Chains A and B, each alone.
Chain A
């Protein structure tokens, strides 16, 4: 498992270390031009009720954040359009969560969240027909925060334990982490695709 604390964030950004290796970087599938499916298994351990971010796909800005009494899913579209979608507060401290975020260009965004402890679910869809998701050349995911330390109010960072991270594109598993092997603050990708997660 990976215990992230408020002092740090982790990123899924393999191209930040070497721009030509790995050969098929998983983060480039988050560009807004290709299908991807992100699966997260985690538990929020931060018991405070301040604003906190679970993840953010940058630089386009596609984020799940928690406020005192609700969750907000932020989606960004071409033309600098940012939409906030209010969702019931399903992610609560010390409860195990399975989250799936799937994006299909020209078709849909699907956010599925299941609270394993309570059995409650949210299945939220955005129709992408005739809409363009905001596209970026060098996308990456921030976990347990909303931005890089230099750009972020660190108060948005939070404590989360991650148990599993999976990223697919068109059924191909691009990156898989169960967080049992770390090298130099990087989680080793079990797929051998070198799509690591790393501490920032």
Chain B
């Protein structure tokens, strides 16, 4: 694999904002008809008229082509500011470099560099969500991705924050309300029209949600691959799951996955899941989660599928800080237990840390400075758990896993125009309502933040 400094140098030679992921990677939210490349920029709507004669416009929208033009002409598209923040606040590499270095990106470097921005490009790394059906309603999620959130907002309305958090009236106004499970969805139709020509070119195909294991289209894809694997036996298949669905669905997935892996119908299979805290604090933040069941399912999958890797996508937020270090311990235990030398990836389980940008009231930026230091302590722990090189039992945290925690700390303490007082008040308004609707108790669950909560509440009432 090419080294990151070399990748950055070559990308910068084309343009300081050049990133291959704008071509090679796409996320499709078919439930809302939205897309983005990569997953950091805000999503935009896929115009149905663009799909009429070209189902690949699910990815190659006019909006995206204009950003590709900017990148090829030496500009930094403002929608990609996640990476510009990293590049301006630290010496760490941004995701622009990581994503462009991936084999599903870098192999197309020359082709993309020389391409015309108007051309359609068949993506190599595709993420698709067929809808928002989900049994969780996580604190940082919303109606676009969770039918549980839709139910709650339809019953109680948006949250009493300045932005009326998760208000679906606005979603309806901007035409981003998800199709209901029972409604006809033209974006899903376009996907199935595009799928036969997309599947042969795919390096990686990843299904997200909602909760994918609750979607019939997800099982339809899995069965298609079971029956047509000779067309693309090298596909890397990935599936997201909250690992909190009924056991029969986990077991059905494991059965199919065993066939795909044992009979070499895919190059690799990886399961993405999410958690960014432990115990009660995790259950508070990811409403619907049963923390121990979550780890039992991880153990079941890693035991029954000895070639499968699990990736924990941690959306690190203000509620993660006090137990993230414990999560690192738990992840390390699983890395150690399930290291077997048979997996596609070195590690049985990976902890992939990203910082939460939205909703702003849950950002780590609201935390007092002494709590932010816990992030650095967590990064240090991950470093000591780092993979020992030149040995056979090479389990542990990888360079990238460690770097991502460290750069989160750099982001948390970096200077910015973030209005701490404002968002602490917004945070209090949010958790008060969240507690009321879900019969929870914030200060009991997070005694570490009680003081910050009470001070901000007093300011609201003053």
The residues of A with any CB-CB pair to B shorter than 8 Å are: 16-22, 148-150, 183-186, 188, 194, 196, 198-200
CA gap between A158 and B389 in the complex, in Å: 21
Enumerate chain B residues within 8 angstroms of A184, measured Cβ to Cβ: 332, 384-386, 388, 396
The answer to whether B390 and A150 have CB atoms under 8 Å apart is: yes
CA gap between A186 and B93 in the complex, in Å: 26
Q: Find A200's partner among B386, B391, B396 (CB 8 Å cutoff).
A: B391
Q: Is B229 positioned at the interface, with any CB of A under 8 Å from its CB?
A: no
17 contacts between A and B (CB under 8 A): A16-B389, A17-B388, A17-B402, A18-B403, A18-B406, A19-B399, A20-B91, A20-B406, A21-B402, A21-B406, A184-B384, A184-B388, A185-B388, A186-B384, A186-B388, A199-B388, A200-B388
With both chains docked as a complex, state the minimum distance between the C-beta of B182 and any C-beta of chain A, in angstroms.
49
For this complex, into which size category does the number of interface residues on chain B fall?
20 to 34
B380-432 with Cβ < 8 A to chain A: 380-381, 383-391, 396, 399, 402-403, 406
With both chains docked as a complex, state the minimum distance between the C-beta of A165 and any C-beta of chain B, in angstroms.
16
Q: Find B383's partner among A22, A149, A185, A199 (CB 8 Å cutoff).
A: A22
Name the residue of chain A whose CB is nearest to the CB of B391.
A200
Q: Known A17-B389, A20-B91; judge A196-B384 contact (CB<8 A).
A: yes
Enumerate chain A residues within 8 angstroms of B441, measured Cβ to Cβ: none
Enumerate chain B residues within 8 angstroms of A199, measured Cβ to Cβ: 388, 391
CA gap between A149 and B392 in the complex, in Å: 12
Enumerate chain B residues within 8 angstroms of A149, measured Cβ to Cβ: 390
Q: Is B213 positioned at the interface, with any CB of A under 8 Å from its CB?
A: no
Enumerate chain A residues within 8 angstroms of B396, measured Cβ to Cβ: 184
Q: Is B367 positioned at the interface, with any CB of A under 8 Å from its CB?
A: no
With both chains docked as a complex, state the minimum distance between the C-beta of B293 and any C-beta of chain A, in angstroms.
28
Q: Is B92 positioned at the interface, with any CB of A under 8 Å from its CB?
A: yes
CA gap between A22 and B403 in the complex, in Å: 10
CA gap between A186 and B385 in the complex, in Å: 8
Q: Is B379 positioned at the interface, with any CB of A under 8 Å from its CB?
A: yes
Q: Find A18's partner among B91, B332, B381, B399 (CB 8 Å cutoff).
A: B399
Enumerate chain A residues within 8 angstroms of B380, measured Cβ to Cβ: 194
B108-132 with Cβ < 8 A to chain A: none
With both chains docked as a complex, state the minimum distance between the C-beta of A87 and any C-beta of chain B, in angstroms.
30
Name the residue of chain A whose CB is nearest to the CB of B396.
A184
Name the residue of chain A whose CB is nearest to the CB of B400.
A18
Question: Would you list the 3 A-B pairs with minimal beta carbon distance, nearest first?
Answer: A17-B386, A183-B384, A18-B402
Q: Known A20-B91, A184-B385, A194-B383; judge A148-B390 contact (CB<8 A).
A: yes
CA gap between A160 and B10 in the complex, in Å: 47
The answer to whether B389 and A200 have CB atoms under 8 Å apart is: yes
Per-residue 0/1 for B48-67: is the Cβ within 8 Å of any A Cβ (1 yes, 0 no)? 00000000000000000000
Enumerate chain A residues within 8 angstroms of B384, measured Cβ to Cβ: 183-184, 186, 188, 196
With both chains docked as a complex, state the minimum distance between the C-beta of B396 and any C-beta of chain A, in angstroms.
6
Enumerate chain B residues within 8 angstroms of A186, measured Cβ to Cβ: 384, 386, 388
Enumerate chain B residues within 8 angstroms of A185, measured Cβ to Cβ: 388
With both chains docked as a complex, state the minimum distance between the C-beta of A174 and any C-beta of chain B, in angstroms.
16
Name the residue of chain B whose CB is nearest to the CB of A13.
B389
The answer to whether A18 and B383 have CB atoms under 8 Å apart is: yes
CA gap between A184 and B391 in the complex, in Å: 12
CA gap between A19 and B407 in the complex, in Å: 13
CA gap between A188 and B91 in the complex, in Å: 25
Name the residue of chain B whose CB is nearest to the CB of A181.
B384
The answer to whether A198 and B388 have CB atoms under 8 Å apart is: yes
Name the residue of chain A whose CB is nearest to the CB of B336.
A184
Q: Find A17's partner among B93, B381, B399 (CB 8 Å cutoff).
A: B399
The answer to whether B387 and A21 have CB atoms under 8 Å apart is: no
Name the residue of chain B whose CB is nearest to the CB of A185.
B388
With both chains docked as a complex, state the minimum distance between the C-beta of A177 and any C-beta of chain B, in angstroms.
13
Known contacts A21-B406, A150-B390; 14 further A-B pairs (Cβ under 8 A): A17-B389, A17-B399, A18-B406, A20-B92, A21-B379, A21-B402, A21-B403, A184-B332, A184-B384, A184-B385, A184-B396, A188-B384, A194-B380, A200-B389
Enumerate chain A residues within 8 angstroms of B92, measured Cβ to Cβ: 20
Enumerate chain A residues within 8 angstroms of B387, measured Cβ to Cβ: 17
B305-346 with Cβ < 8 A to chain A: 332
CA gap between A115 and B43 in the complex, in Å: 69
Which of the listed residues B332, B387, B390, B402 has the most CB atoms from chain A within 10 Å of its own CB? B390
With both chains docked as a complex, state the minimum distance between the C-beta of B400 and any C-beta of chain A, in angstroms.
9
Name the residue of chain A whose CB is nearest to the CB of B393.
A185
CA gap between A95 and B380 in the complex, in Å: 36
Enumerate chain B residues within 8 angstroms of A148, measured Cβ to Cβ: 390
With both chains docked as a complex, state the minimum distance between the C-beta of B168 and any C-beta of chain A, in angstroms.
42
Per-residue 0/1 for B93-106: is the Cβ within 8 Å of any A Cβ (1 yes, 0 no)? 10000000000000
Enumerate chain B residues within 8 angstroms of A183, measured Cβ to Cβ: 381, 384-385
Enumerate chain A residues within 8 angstroms of B93, measured Cβ to Cβ: 20
CA gap between A199 and B383 in the complex, in Å: 14
Enumerate chain A residues within 8 angstroms of B381, measured Cβ to Cβ: 183
With both chains docked as a complex, state the minimum distance between the C-beta of A80 and any C-beta of chain B, in angstroms.
25
CA gap between A114 and B209 in the complex, in Å: 67
B232-286 with Cβ < 8 A to chain A: none
The answer to whether A21 and B383 have CB atoms under 8 Å apart is: yes
With both chains docked as a complex, state the minimum distance between the C-beta of B430 and any C-beta of chain A, in angstroms.
33
CA gap between A184 and B91 in the complex, in Å: 27
Name the residue of chain A whose CB is nearest to the CB of B390.
A200
With both chains docked as a complex, state the minimum distance between the C-beta of A100 and any C-beta of chain B, in angstroms.
28
Enumerate chain A residues within 8 angstroms of B332, measured Cβ to Cβ: 184
With both chains docked as a complex, state the minimum distance between the C-beta of B56 and any C-beta of chain A, in angstroms.
38
Name the residue of chain B whose CB is nearest to the CB of A188.
B384
With both chains docked as a complex, state the minimum distance between the C-beta of B355 and any C-beta of chain A, in angstroms.
16
With both chains docked as a complex, state the minimum distance between the C-beta of B34 and any C-beta of chain A, in angstroms.
34
CA gap between A21 and B403 in the complex, in Å: 7
CA gap between A149 and B332 in the complex, in Å: 26
Name the residue of chain A whose CB is nearest to the CB of B379.
A21
Enumerate chain B residues within 8 angstroms of A18, measured Cβ to Cβ: 383, 386, 399, 402-403, 406
